[in-house]
Amino acid sequence: MEQKSRSSFSGRVGFVLAAAGSAVGLGNLWRFPYLAAQYGGGIFLLVYLILVVTFGFALMVTEIAIGRKTRLSCIGAYKALDKRFGFLGWIATLVPVIITPYYCVIGGWVMKYLFTFVTGQGMTAADNGGFFDSFIGFDAGSLTATMLDFSGPTPWFLLFVLATTVVVIFGVEKGIERASRFMMPILAVLAIFVAIYSLTIPGAMAGLKYYLLPDFSQFSLSTVLGALGQMFYSMSLAMGIMITYGSYMKKENLLEHSVTQIEVFDTLFAFVAGLMIIPAVVAFNGGDPSQINSGPGLMFVTLPMVFESMHFGEIIGAVFFLLVLFAALTSSISLMETIVSVVMDKTHMKRKPATLVVMVIILLVGIPSCLGYGPWAAIEIIGMQFLDFFDFISNSVLMPIVAVLTCILVGHVIGTKVIADEVKEGAGAFHREKMYHVMIRWIAPVLLVTILVSELLTKVFHLFSI
Ligand code: TRP
């Protein structure tokens, strides 16, 4: 791991594209819209935006600077800054281990929808959730039959994991990277097109209002926690990934600018995804935002109905899900790659066996998420299905813990000056330094601890009151 000549990105544009490519994925297209719908629309959007430009900015600057300074990936980097904080690298590494399996489950859902549209059956999916519910709720009687039947999610999950594994083993990354460079802009254009179309559906304006205008009566601490977890997830923060990316960044590249650009990219994608889905779902539900039947299935329920009402909807739907699949694959590949690189570093295994071991772990941890809405629906962990539970543990518990400890490490142990100096390398200036300092030392840790404690207490009370 201690490297002699660490490879680096060709330049600042290369760095921004790579980091943004890792950031834009299912988090923006699938997770953001359903959370926004669930947590009150405009108020969620507002809280999210505020968090992105303050805390998200500060944390991303910190992680990239730590990486560029130490030239190590996260396990080594935290240890190099302070021995006592070495464990933080391990917690951060655990996050992708929890996220990747259920990320692949959702990737499998996307594959199923792509298949459905390509085979000309897209319109059967436009039935306000019936298709989706019977898909994820699929139960063929015996477990083996359920695992193998393409009417349910499991074989699609297996396919998605397989596709990811193949790329990680054979490293056709170059091709994937090149493809995603032209697929991502097409995805952006198509998403904008669909969003504009969604807004023309009769009744969509009520949804647009719900999405854009904050209703402060809907505000609560859990809105903030939801937005916070989403921010970590979407910007790939608090899991050591940006530290690794930072370690590949050249000293003369402008760090602060790059962070701003990645943020703008990532947030625009999420915003447009919300525009595409939320006004449409409100329109299809008779114009009443309170009737939104939100949850992880939102995208899969709403978009088919949008496509059905379009000319050439079947084709547009097929292209759309293909592009989403691509965005999902590029993200799952880099998620798996992080786990594989840790396994290779720590066990000195070769790439192939290490990848296979990681694949088995992903399969084992992912299967419960796959079956959790179907045959295993009766099993709940602290009131949640498996997928929701894994999502909760990583985004609402582990990532805030990593974030808060990083703030304490930087703000009160090594000092924010170390990071600020690193940011100034090559740039000379750090425009938002004052804000950065106050954010990392005081605002972020206090906010994070408050939210984390309150949310955990709520869950515990919930648990014991049942
Ligand atoms: N940010 C990605 C998304 O929005 C998901 C993600 C989280 C990710 N951590 C990652 C992607 C690490 C690549 C690498 O979908």
Q: Which of 98, 331, 339, 390 to mutate to test the pocket of ligand 1 (most atoms within 8 A of CB)?
A: 331
Tell me which residue range forms the domain holding 323.
12-465
Q: How far is the CA of 329 from the centre of ligand 1 (A)?
A: 10
Say which CATH number the domain at 112 has.
1.10.4160
- Lowest mean pLDDT across 46-55, 172-181, 211-220: 172-181
Q: How far is the CA of 102 from the centre of ligand 1 (A)?
A: 12
Which residue has the CA at smallest separation from atom 9 of ligand 1? 236
- The CA distance from 410 to 441, in Å, is 8
pLDDT band at 52 (very low <50, low <70, confident <90, very high): very high
The per-type count for the chain, helices as H runs and strands as E runs, is 23, 0
| Contact criterion met (CB below 8 Å) for 224 and 47 | yes
Query: What is the reported pLDDT for 4?
Result: 42
Q: How far is the CA of 331 from the centre of ligand 1 (A)?
A: 5
pLDDT band at 293 (very low <50, low <70, confident <90, very high): low
In a domain, 151, yes or no: yes
In a domain, 6, yes or no: no
In a domain, 4, yes or no: no
Split into its structural domains, the chain has a count of 1
Q: How far is the CA of 428 from the centre of ligand 1 (A)?
A: 31
Q: How many CB atoms lie within 10 A of CB 217?
A: 8
In a domain, 43, yes or no: yes
* Token representation of residue 389: 């539970």
Backbone dihedral angles phi then psi of residue 373, each to the nearest 5 degrees:
-100, -10
Query: Measured over all CA atoms, what is the biggest interatomic distance in the chain, rounded to whole angstroms?
Result: 65
In this prediction, residues 107-122 reach a mean pLDDT of 96
Kindly write down the DSSP assignment for every residue of 344-396, as one continuous string: HHHH---HHHHHHHHHHHHHHHHHHHHHTTTTTTT--BTTB-HHHHHHHIIII
- The CA distance from 95 to 394, in Å, is 6
pLDDT band at 181 (very low <50, low <70, confident <90, very high): confident
| Contact criterion met (CB below 8 Å) for 417 and 122 | no
Query: What is the reported pLDDT for 143?
Result: 83
- The CA distance from 348 to 355, in Å, is 12
Residue 38 burial by CB count (10 A; 0-12/13-18/19+): exposed, middle or buried?
Answer: middle
In a domain, 349, yes or no: yes
Provide, rounded to the nearest whole percent, the portion of the chain with pLDDT above 90.
Answer: 72
In a domain, 1, yes or no: no
- The CA distance from 226 to 222, in Å, is 6
Backbone dihedral angles phi then psi of residue 381, each to the nearest 5 degrees:
-115, 130
Per the prediction, the chain carries an average pLDDT of 91
